[in-house]
Structure 1
Amino acid sequence: MARRLQQVELGFVDTAPVRLVHSAGLSAAPALVYRALAEDVPGWTEWFDAVSRAIPTHGGAGRDIRLRIGAFFSETILATDPGERYAYRVDTTNVPGLRALLEEWRITPVEGGGSRVRWTFAADGSAPARAAVRLAGPGLGVSFRGAMRKLDRRIGGTPAG
């Protein structure tokens, strides 16, 4: 059953009770990484194994995401800073116990070329939900790093480490 979450804003990424932060280096330029994240929403299914469906909604101001495990998320995009940042909050989900969820992708150039991508997963929920998110952190990190390797290959780079 879908439930509506709190409509948090960008500052939540710094104040959330649970924050998971993962980063990875890519050989692809920041502009290419940003384009794959923010402009090619359906392409997420090609490089992020956990994602089974990704479609832009509301004229590009939102997204509907479905994961292979059956979770779904209707999202509102909060930040689109080309080549630098892409962020969205989850408005509706079927994940139990969550009260708020925001994800931010920061892209920074790396000296000598390439990019560093930092993904922040900011969440709040019931005590069991917060504990579950914390426990999922290492697995989310593995999934993120694998996705970044596949994305780098897809957009013409090779992993930078």
Structure 2
Amino acid sequence: MARRLRPVGLDFVDTAPLRLVFTTEIAAAPEAVFPALAEDVPGWAEWFSAVRLARPTDGGAGREVRLKGGARFEETILVAKQPEVYAYRVDVTNAPGPRALVEEWRLTPTGTGTRVQWTFAADGPAPFRAALRLARTGLDHTFRDAVTALDHRLAV
């Protein structure tokens, strides 16, 4: 059953009760990474293994994302500042637990490559927050695999 989450702004990335931050470096430049994140939304299914479907909505102001396993998300883009930051808020989901959720992708140049930082900011009941903390290692692995796959895709 789909549920509407609390609408939060970009400041939630810094104030959320639970913040998981993952970072890795890749060879692709931020100017190549940003369009893959913000403009080629359907392409996410090709490099992010957890994503089954992603498509822009509302003329690019939102996204619909479906994960393998059945989770669905309707999202609002909060910021798309090329080539530095891309962030979105989950408005509606069928995933149990979250009350508010924002994801931020921050891109920083490192020589000719990019430092990619993904912040997963969430609020929900204590069991939800505890489950996310326990899933931290798996989320980190999924993030690194996805960004590595994106880097390979951009190199082609």
TM over 0.5: yes
Alignment length (residue pairs)? 156
* Partner SS, residue 128 of structure 1: helix
1:95 deviation in Å? 1.0
1:83 deviation in Å? 0.7
- Within 5 A, what are the aligned runs for 1:1-161? 1-111=1-111, 113-156=112-155
TM-score between the two structures when normalised by the length of structure 1 = 0.95
Q: Look up the equivalent residue of 1:127 and give its one-letter code.
A: A
Distance in 2 (CA, whole Å) between partners of 1:106 and 1:44 is 16
1:136 deviation in Å? 1.2
Tell me the alpha carbon deviations over residues 33-60 of structure 1, each in whole angstroms, 9 at most, x when there is no partner: 0000000000000000000000000000
Tell me the alpha carbon deviations over residues 69-127 of structure 1, each in whole angstroms, 9 at most, x when there is no partner: 1111100000000010000000000111210000000000002x110000000000011
Moved more, 31-40 or 126-135: 126-135
Which consecutive unaligned segments of at least 5 residues does structure 1 have?
A: none
Distance in 2 (CA, whole Å) between partners of 1:29 and 1:97 is 36
Distance in 2 (CA, whole Å) between partners of 1:45 and 1:57 is 16
**Moved runs in structure 1, 4+ residues, more than 2 A?**
none
* Partner SS, residue 143 of structure 1: helix
TM-score between the two structures when normalised by the length of structure 2 = 0.98
Distance in 2 (CA, whole Å) between partners of 1:136 and 1:89 is 20
* Partner SS, residue 155 of structure 2: coil
Q: Look up the equivalent residue of 2:7 and give its one-letter code.
A: Q
* Partner SS, residue 135 of structure 2: helix
Distance in 2 (CA, whole Å) between partners of 1:156 and 1:83 is 18
